[in-house]
Amino acid sequence: MIRALLTFTLALFALPALAAPVSDQPHTRVELIAQSSAPAAGKPLDIGIILTPKAGWHTYWLNPGDAGAPTRAEWKLPSGVSAPPELQYPVPGTLVVSGLMNHVYEKRNILLTRIDVPAGMAPGSAFPVEVQVDWLVCSHEQCVPESAVLSLPLVVGDGADDATMAPQIAEGRAALPRPLAATATWAKTGTRFVLSVPMAGLDKVRKAWFFPAGDAVITHVTPQKVSVAGDALRIETDAGTPGPEGEVTGVLRVEMAGEAPMGFAITAKQGSVPGPGAALGAGGGSDDAAGGDAGGPGLPLILLGAVLGGLILNVMPCVFPILSLKALALAKGNVGAAEARTEALAYTAGVVIVVTALGGLVLALRAAGSQVGWAFQLQDPRVIAFLLLLVTGIALNLAGLFEITLSSGNLGQDKARSGGASGAFFTGALAAFVATPCTGPFMAGALGAALVLPTVQALSVFAGLGFGLALPFLLIGFVPALRRRLPRPGAWMARLRAILSVPMFLTALALAWVLGQQVGVNGMALGLAGTLVLGLFMWWLGSRQHGGKSLAVPGVLSLATIVAAVLLVPTTAPAGAATSTTTAASELDAVKFTPAALADLRAANKPVFLYMTADWCLTCKVNEKGAMADPAVADSFKAKGITVMEGDWTRNDPAISAWLAEHKRAGVPVYVYYDPAGGETELPQILTVDALTALKV
């Protein structure tokens, strides 16, 4: 989709220019050269196009990767002369930008072609060569289509090499991938693509990377595992969708010890491939082949982002009360060091297991063909209803209506001691589950990368998110100095519990509103009715606790209420149900996102601010009620002619799911600005008025 839009944009921006052999564009210098300025009749003539991007910018290979567009050339040649349909490209490099793999040239590169001079042309005859070159040049922040018309006033002669241009043609020819004499083979095993390339000098290979010529052969950004299996280089990575068929062509870039990187033109037939072989020689394996040139974050940085993202989740209104009460429980019970460490580990295990399990479910569903992302379960009204009842129960507990204990319900029994390791594990699991509607800084890139990493690495990213969420309580459990700094127990703790119940009640109110957005007023009323019945049962439970009576009957009834309310909630909104419009959408005159509408606006060179949101996403709502609703933003967008487009992912929308997958994003919010020049800039997840009003057209 991205590539099609960019290619179309290139065509729109193809502006004529005065014909000359050299043209200096804003971000690229382009030049037309030939092997000879006096080509011989009846002989071939090599012609080159030199593209030199400015520092910080890059152009693209034949298959640009996840984004970008290849360079196009339209030739105007003497009668009876034609050029091949495709240019010959040098071996490209890799560059990861915003989770997208790009096949690029960041320095001077020479694209070649060969034409035949007709045999009947007389010496001294004019042989003008003219070409219109259209290309895309990008930085890490924006992309700009550029175009130039170049010409060479050649004259038919003796075919002698030109002293200035011929060496550059030779330079371009040396940079082309070499033909591979041996026959390569490929196979698809499950979701994995394996390429086997027989070659000499395997003991010297330090890194390798395969660039497929086709789009659907592999998932470009996934790390490629390279090993030596017998007399062949074995490359394994994730297969694309729907995957390769027939012959697979491309370029294999290889780095050998003590030599410059080289490339081989690969044509692989489907067949048998060897199993994983030995690691490459000293100097680094291939798993970082992309990382060395890609410029994107490696797994350690992705894990750090996940941990920081999880850490920030602790300040969310639905998580902070749980963390606070669990921490204060240690102080209240004067728990010993060993027991504190046990509870901290149990709490961490509950968080990490739930977050990793949710991440594993996302990966499994995506592998099965579903376009789902983080917090996808919140698109199901039954999950929202369950969360509504669960959060209401937590709020009532914090308000003091009843106590959660594992015994008969003695109100005075110490909460921390009655829970122990099992209670801490459950609390951690609960915190992880109720945190899924939230996202924030550092999480987007980490979870987006997890969706394209190999399974084990992806699960480690989700585990890192869980570890970050559990880290504050883990530190409290293992660092006695932190526990000593906690306030001493006292009557104030009861007041604090009541205060902390307020954000939980507000969370419950928000969930009821989300339920209404998903299934209409009747569905919301059913959810609220279940909440009311649950509240009455909790009141009964609390009164029996005060009297020291059995809790078996109220506990069963409470569980039955939750199950009944969840099962009775409709899964779809009634026909004709109206959907709400956010304050930001109303003030910014937002239009509904569709791929076709976005394509039309971009084709017309209109600036577009696209935001992907959901009613259950707390960060989304904060931005929409805050920075996006500021009158200064509306005035700025109106003055600049920026069209605002909203994608509502509250309920599953295949078009939005596909867009998120294309941009390697695991969930919402996502904010992207498309400028009139074809550039695409992703904004941070926490928006500010200054950032929005600074958008340029």
Confidence of residue 298 (pLDDT cuts 50, 70, 90): low
Confidence of residue 33 (pLDDT cuts 50, 70, 90): very high
192 shares a domain with 112: no
192 shares a domain with 83: no
Query: Does position 578 have pLDDT exceeding 80, yes or no?
Result: no
- Return the number of other C-beta atoms located less than 10 Å from residue 334's C-beta: 12
Q: Which tens digits make up the pLDDT trace of 342-352? A: 888 999 999 99
Q: What is the pTM of this model?
A: 0.47
597 shares a domain with 672: yes
Look up the domain containing 201 and give its range.
Answer: 184-294
397 shares a domain with 258: no
| Mean pLDDT confidence for 501-520 | 83
Write out the DSSP string of 418-482. Answer: HHHHHHHHHHHHHHHHHTTT---TTHHHHHHHHTTS-HHHHHHHHHHHHHHHHHHHHHHHH-HHH
- Does residue 255 lie in a domain region? yes
217 shares a domain with 189: yes
Q: Which of 80-94, 404-418, 530-544, 547-561 has the highest mean pLDDT?
A: 80-94
Confidence of residue 76 (pLDDT cuts 50, 70, 90): very high
Q: Which tens digits make up the pLDDT trace of 78-92? A: 988 999 989 999 999
- Does residue 409 lie in a domain region? yes
What pLDDT is stored for residue 400 in this prediction? 79
308 shares a domain with 287: no
608 shares a domain with 561: no
H/E element holding 365? helix 337-367
| Mean pLDDT confidence for 577-602 | 74
Collapsed DSSP state (helix, strand, coil) of residue 125: coil
Closest listed residue to residue 685, CA positions, set 447, 352, 461: 447
- The total of structural domains in the chain comes to 4
160 shares a domain with 275: no
594 shares a domain with 554: no
- Does residue 575 lie in a domain region? no
Spatial CB neighbours of 583, under 8 Å, sequence gap ≥ 6: 624, 625, 629
- Return the number of other C-beta atoms located less than 10 Å from residue 22's C-beta: 12
Closest listed residue to residue 642, CA positions, set 681, 669, 615, 685: 681
Look up residue 50 and give its two tokens. 């030199």
Q: Bigger pLDDT: 170 or 15? A: 170
271 shares a domain with 130: no
Q: Which tens digits make up the pLDDT trace of 145-154? A: 999 999 999 9
189 shares a domain with 163: no
Q: Please identify which residue in the block is written with the tokens 């930001």.
A: 584
What pLDDT is stored for residue 11 in this prediction? 45
Question: What's the CATH code of the domain at 188?
Answer: 2.60.40
Contact between 32 and 20 (Cβ < 8 Å): no
Look up residue 99 and give its two tokens. 């989770």
- When the pLDDT of each residue in the chain is averaged and rounded to a whole number, the result is 80
- Does residue 328 lie in a domain region? yes
Question: What's the CATH code of the domain at 138?
Answer: 2.60.40.1250
Closest listed residue to residue 228, CA positions, set 255, 256, 197, 250: 197
- Does residue 576 lie in a domain region? no
Confidence of residue 559 (pLDDT cuts 50, 70, 90): low
Spatial CB neighbours of 552, under 8 Å, sequence gap ≥ 6: none
- Does residue 118 lie in a domain region? yes
- Does residue 344 lie in a domain region? yes
Angle at the Cα of 218 from the Cα atoms of 215 and 223, rounded to 5 degrees: 130
Domain end among 176, 203, 223: 176
Q: Bigger pLDDT: 528 or 280? A: 528
Q: Bigger pLDDT: 249 or 189? A: 249
Q: Which tens digits make up the pLDDT trace of 613-669? A: 888 777 788 888 888 988 999 999 999 999 999 998 887 777 787 788 667 677 788
- Side chain identity, residue 406: L
Domain end among 270, 294, 318: 294
506 shares a domain with 536: yes
H/E element holding 132? strand 126-138
- Return the number of other C-beta atoms located less than 10 Å from residue 566's C-beta: 19
- Does residue 573 lie in a domain region? no
Spatial CB neighbours of 573, under 8 Å, sequence gap ≥ 6: 518, 519, 520, 523, 651
Question: What's the CATH code of the domain at 651?
Answer: 3.40.30.10
Domain end among 267, 294, 321: 294
